[in-house]
C-alpha cells in the first residue's frame, strides 16, 4: 500500500513540475515564480494551464 502511495505522489509531483515548466515557458509566470507555483495544488495548476490555453485560442481568433 505504501509503495502505491509513493508512486502516486511521484506521479502527481511530476505532473505538477511539467505544468509549472509549461506555464513558465509560455511566459505566464517568470522563473522567480517557480517557488510560488510549487505551492499550488495539481488542480490549481491544471486550471491555470487550461486558462492559458483558452487565452491562446482567444488571441488566435481575434
Model pTM?
Answer: 0.80
16-49 per-position pLDDT tens digit: 999 999 999 988 899 999 999 999 999 999 999 9
Count of residues in the chain:
62
Joined grid coordinates for residue 1: 500500500
DSSP 8-state symbol, 39: T
Q: What is the 3-state secondary structure (H, E, C) of 19-38?
A: HHHHHHHCCCCCHHHHHHHH
Give dist(CA 13, CA 18) in Å, integer.
9
Amino acid at each position: 500500500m505504501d509503495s502505491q502511495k509513493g508512486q502516486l505522489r511521484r506521479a502527481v509531483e511530476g505532473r505538477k513540475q511539467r505544468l509549472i515548466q509549461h506555464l513558465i515557458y509560455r511566459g505566464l509566470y517568470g522563473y522567480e515564480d517557480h517557488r510560488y507555483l510549487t505551492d499550488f495544488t495539481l488542480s490549481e495548476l491544471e486550471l491555470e494551464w487550461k486558462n492559458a490555453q483558452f487565452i491562446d485560442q482567444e488571441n488566435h481568433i481575434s
